[in-house]
Amino acid sequence: MAKAIISPLLERGEYLPQNVLGIVGSSSSIASTLNDLPKKVKVVSSEDPFSREVWKASLKILAVKPQQFSKIKESVSSFQSNDQFPKPLLISVLAGITLNSLKEAFPGHTCVRAVPNTPSLVGQGLTGLAWGNDITSDQKKVVRKIFEPISEIYELEEQKLDSFLALTSSGPAYIALVVEAMADGAVAAGLPRHLSNLLAHKTLSGTASLLREKSLHPAELKDMVASPAGTTISALRHLELAGLRSALIEAVVLAAQKSRQLAEEV
C-alpha cells in the first residue's frame, strides 16, 4: 500500500525521490521494495542503524501488516522523541489500528488514520481519513496533499473507517474475482482467453462509467438490460439462486468485522 501511495506521487513530481526513506523488516525485502521506484529512493532494513533516521522526519507513513504493529511499537520506543515542536505527523494505513492505539505507541507524534485503496496507483483511488484531536490545519493540508492527487478523500468519524475499508479497500479484490470469473465463463462458452479478459475488463469499466455519468441506481441498469424471457434475466436468476448477492453482502460485513477484530488483538 505504501508503494501505491508513493509511486504516483513521485511520478507526478509531488516529492523528490532523494527525500523518501523506507524501512522494511529485513534486508531480503529491499530489492523487491525498490522495484519500480526511482533510483534515488533509499530503503533500509529495520536492523540497519540508519533506520532510526526516519523517526527524525516530520512526516511518516506507517504501512505494515496490523499483526506487526506490536513489534514496530517495541522497536521504536527507545528512540522516539517527545519534545519536538510541532509534533511530527504519522499517517497510519493499518487496518483496524485505532487512533488511541497509535497515540499510545507513538506519543511524540500527531497521528492520522488513512484508508486508501489500490486504484490510487492510477489516480482513481478512494481514501478515508480520520483525524487525531491534536492535528493542526497545516498538518491536514499536508495529508490532503498526499492523497488528493491519487484519490478522492472522505473525512469520516473513526468508527466508520472499518466499513469504508471493507467496501473500498477490500472491494477491488471482490471485483477482480468477479471479473476473472466472468472471463472464465466466456472462455467456457467459446471465446479465446485474451479476448475474454479484454472484454470482461471493458465491460466492468464501461458499466461503472454508465452508472456514474447517468446517475443510475444499479437496479435501474439491471432492468434496462434484462428483457422478458431473455438471456440476461435467465443469467440473473441463476446468480440469485447461487447466492451471489448475499455472498457479496456478507463479504463486506465480514471484512469490516475483521478490521474491528484486529484492533482488539493489539
- When pLDDT is averaged across residues 235-240 and rounded to a whole number, the result is 97
Are 138 and 189 in the same domain? no
User: Is the model's pLDDT at 265 over the cut of 80?
Assistant: no
Are 183 and 135 in the same domain? no
CATH code of the domain covering residue 64: 3.40.50.720
In a domain, 145, yes or no: yes
**What is the span of the domain harbouring residue 195?**
171-263
On the 0-12 / 13-18 / 19+ scale of CB atoms within 10 A, 233 is middle
DSSP state of 169: I
Rounded distance between C-alpha atoms, residue 140 and residue 136, angstroms: 6
In a domain, 51, yes or no: yes
Are 15 and 126 in the same domain? yes
Counting the structural domains of the chain, the total is 2
The x, y and z cell numbers of residue 74, run together, are 517495541
Place of cell 483511488: 125
Q: What is the pLDDT of residues 129-140, one digit of tens each?
A: 999 888 999 999
Q: What is the pLDDT of residues 157-182, one digit of tens each?
A: 999 999 999 999 999 999 999 999 99
For 242, residues 6+ apart whose C-beta sits below 8 A from its C-beta are: none
Are 198 and 94 in the same domain? no
| Residue 192 burial (CB count, 10 A) | 10
In a domain, 166, yes or no: no
For 219, residues 6+ apart whose C-beta sits below 8 A from its C-beta are: none
In a domain, 159, yes or no: no
In a domain, 16, yes or no: yes
Are 54 and 87 in the same domain? yes
User: Is the model's pLDDT at 117 over the cut of 80?
Assistant: yes
In a domain, 163, yes or no: no
